[in-house]
Amino acid sequence: SVEAAPDRPLAGRHVLVTAGPTQEPIDPVRVIANRSSGKQGFAIAAAAAQAGARVTLVAGPVSLPTPGGVVRVDIETAEQMAAAVEAALPADVAIMVAAVADWKVDAAPAKLKKAAGPPQLRFSANPDILAMVGSHVERPQLLVGFAAETDELVAHAQSKRVAKGADWIVANDVSGDVMGAADNHVVLVTADGAEDWGPMPKTEVASALIGRIAGLLGKD
Ligand code: CTP
Ligand code: CA
């Protein structure tokens, strides 16, 4: 195994990160999207690269520069994100920060015309990427999900952790105005319980999380 230098504790490790929103087309010119900025996921990818990891960042449409030393794969839809994530395996650690659209639309092949009146959109389920990785033959040694919640933060995060086969869920209190903001209030939910990290900048959430991961992987 690789002897990790103290300042590069993730040297020799592959860390896979998803970030940003996904976009689901309605027709060739319109999409359904969400308000994820990608800031938290990009900060985590940057912190992992700084810790010496090889980093694959699968990113939805965001307006952010690629962090130094990170291999970025741009996608639009949840299905494209699922395929890019699977193609990036194996990884030692996967951190699924993306705000994946839960549903896709039966997209029209041609532009919908206003004169036809408001469309009746038909939705169907998207793949759950975190759950897919959680049950994958190449499941990473450590699998981390994020969960944005407005209420029952820890209870919802704990049931997602179990249901999706993740090791940790970083539960994100979005009852305030967190989308696109620089700060985040997270609670780390593991099999051992919940740890409230309090409000802190997204860059500090990233370095704290990567520090915790480095500590864990450094033991083997
Ligand atoms: N996730 C995913 N694929 C999806 C939906 C979510 O990989 N199709 C991942 C997210 O990247 C995140 C975690 O699952 O790491 C939790 O996402 P969240 O939206 O909070 O959970 P859902 O199961 O979709 O539940 P809900 O939106 O109903 O709260
Ligand atoms: Ca969801």
pLDDT digits (tens, 9 = 90+) for 131-166: 999 999 999 999 999 998 888 999 999 999 999 999
Q: Is 130 in the pocket of ligand 1 (CB under 6 A)?
A: yes
**Is the whole-model pTM more than 0.90?**
yes
Q: What is the mean pLDDT of the chain?
A: 94
- 177 annotated among ligand-binding-site residues: no
Please tell me the distance between residue 102's alpha carbon and the centre of ligand 2 in angstroms.
Answer: 5
What is the pLDDT at residue 146? Answer: 97
Q: Is 102 in the pocket of ligand 1 (CB under 6 A)?
A: yes
Cα 174-176-179 angle, rounded to 5 deg:
60
- Evaluate if residue 1 carries a pLDDT over 70: no
Q: Which atom of ligand 1 is nearest to the CA of 133?
A: 7
Which is more confident, 177 or 27? Answer: 27
Q: How many CB atoms lie within 10 A of CB 166?
A: 27
Say if CB 54 and CB 15 are below 8 A apart. Answer: yes
Q: Which atom of ligand 1 is nearest to the CA of 126?
A: 8
Q: How many helical (H) and strand (E) elements, i.e. helices and strands, does the chain have?
A: 5, 12
- Evaluate if residue 220 carries a pLDDT over 80: no
What are 156's two structure tokens? 């919802």
Which is more confident, 212 or 3? Answer: 212
Ordered alpha helix ranges (H), the chain: 39-50, 78-88, 129-134, 153-164, 202-217
Mean pLDDT of 38-61: 98
The protein residue whose alpha carbon is closest to atom 4 in ligand 1 is 128
Which is more confident, 174 or 203? Answer: 203
Q: How far is the C-alpha of 158 from the C-alpha of 166, rounded, in Å?
A: 10
